[in-house]
Structure 1
């Protein structure tokens, strides 16, 4: 078996991963949705990147299809060497400050509508770890961002707005936190997992929560004003353990430093 297969190569991470693999000379098979050849050829090492994020609440059945149904078919029918399933550190949210370690026993309310995302990802993890004959591993990704023009998400959209205005406003409280990890570090983590045949679950995260107030300070130091909503108490957030990722040789960059460097780049402000 040789080469790589990326299921979901049309997405943000899948596309970046395919680009990185091809850049180092690897053969990459990126099947289109519904492609029957998926079950007729040797897939080599599989990255399962298919999934929904922001629109899962309005597309619950598509979410289950992407996170579970197709995965189950691949595990049951396809020929592959190894499979890495992309999941999310959101699965720790219900544990609060006690969560964040790959060995945590997760907890979900099956009646909560938003949990279609968490529950489907958790089932995908279970199938990968328990029904792959020892050939599966799970990468739990935290809040992935890219500072390139046109990227989506809270932090990239803030940066793009900062090109046009020195005063920014967001309806988000100062105490809200995210574990930001740059897309390049995510790709590095996934490649390291494949190359070193990582087992079990690996948090692909920075391992540090950055608050909106932290971001506001970075903007202020660079000459911008970031106005946020009135603060209110926030539930305690998990802090992701990253020892397993760092043991693979990957140390993610600090989002605040990347943001500061972008704001200070010559010609950044175009307003």
Structure 2
């Protein structure tokens, strides 16, 4: 039994990881802010420590005596106005976690990065892996950049032998409860039969259960300083929406939005936001929706015994949860 701390424990993936660690019999501590919504952790037998990754003093106290820190706390956002918050939480927060793990000689840091830290493809033949060079720096997309920068900090600390860490890069996670995420409004609309359009890009779908299994396996046998992509099936956004609609028993979106139109609307959205109004979407949304986020998880399959299930199964679980909670008609 290990004494472990989970940052971001009350988030979607954090709660899945916390549950799994408790189920394995570990002494699990959840780092949460004083006014955090803890509904995701209802019924989970973990202990709470109040703190914040942006407050190094609270972290110093929280990490004391821990065998392992699972660092999942982060901010996902696609607006320029949220860039400073992402810099503070995703980059500075990770730097704080590294410093405290070094200070307390924590045996292992398990860092949850994202496939966005690796990059994205502009065409369908670009399938990225752990060795792919970060190819979208010129776009300066806030979420992608801050996760990329944070991951560099972890890798550099490992190279200097300051900490022992392993890095996980999950793709788009589907499963029970994912509809609660702010980034899933579009998918809920699809499941309700209310979305008429789809975009030209592609996405990689991975099941929550498989990501959790990959995280626990990486903790136990992942190589120090290595990144592992936890990804499932590469599919077009058109096909993703069709799967969601089919599982929900509604008509899928029929019309593809032209990429150029999407980018124009995104630019207008950024301008509106600058003027203090709420835009329909941002430039970052437009790029994210039209790129191909396709990845190869071969390394994790070889080294971590990672076995991703088909996208359909993960999407079925996601939509079934929506049905069970009244978001979609049964």
Check whether TM > 0.5. Answer: yes
Q: Flag the 1:19–1:57 CA change in 2: closer, same or farther, 3 A.
A: farther
In structure 2, C-alpha distance between the alignment counterparts of 1:223 and 1:74, rounded to whole Å: 45
Deviation at 1:149? Answer: 8.0
Deviations 1:114-152, CA, capped at 9 Å, x for gaps: x23222211211111111326122111211122448533
Q: Flag the 1:264–1:148 CA change in 2: closer, same or farther, 3 A.
A: closer
What's the counterpart of residue 95 of structure 2?
72
Q: Flag the 1:155–1:249 CA change in 2: closer, same or farther, 3 A.
A: farther
Relative to total residues, which structure has the larger helix share, 1 or 2?
Answer: 2
- Which one of the candidate residues 167, 175, 179 is aligned to 1:146? 175
Structure 1 unmatched ranges of 5 or more: 162-166
In structure 1, C-alpha distance between the alignment counterparts of 2:312 and 2:113, rounded to whole Å: 24
In structure 1, C-alpha distance between the alignment counterparts of 2:112 and 2:318, rounded to whole Å: 28
- Greater CA deviation, 232-241 or 79-88? 232-241
- Which one of the candidate residues 47, 52, 68 is aligned to 2:70? 47
Q: Flag the 1:217–1:82 CA change in 2: closer, same or farther, 3 A.
A: closer
- Which one of the candidate residues 244, 250, 261 is aligned to 2:306? 250
Are residue 136 (structure 1) and residue 165 (structure 2) matched?
yes
In structure 2, C-alpha distance between the alignment counterparts of 1:15 and 1:263, rounded to whole Å: 19
Stretches of 4+ aligned residues off by more than 4 angstroms = 220-223, 233-236, 260-265
Deviations 1:10-64, CA, capped at 9 Å, x for gaps: 2221122111111221111222324745314122111111111135643212211
What's the counterpart of residue 103 of structure 1?
131
1:219/1:260 contact within 8 Å kept: no
2:115/2:170 contact within 8 Å kept: yes
Q: Flag the 1:245–1:21 CA change in 2: closer, same or farther, 3 A.
A: same
What's the counterpart of residue 209 of structure 1?
235
What's the counterpart of residue 157 of structure 1?
188
Are residue 237 (structure 1) and residue 292 (structure 2) matched?
yes
Structure 2 unmatched ranges of 5 or more: 32-50, 260-288
What's the counterpart of residue 62 of structure 1?
85
What's the counterpart of residue 164 of structure 1?
none
In structure 2, C-alpha distance between the alignment counterparts of 1:140 and 1:171, rounded to whole Å: 29
Deviations 1:92-126, CA, capped at 9 Å, x for gaps: 4455343511011213435x45x232222112111
TM-score (normalised: structure 1): 0.81
In structure 2, C-alpha distance between the alignment counterparts of 1:215 and 1:92, rounded to whole Å: 24
Are residue 38 (structure 1) and residue 59 (structure 2) matched?
yes
Q: Flag the 1:217–1:36 CA change in 2: closer, same or farther, 3 A.
A: closer
Are residue 188 (structure 1) and residue 213 (structure 2) matched?
yes
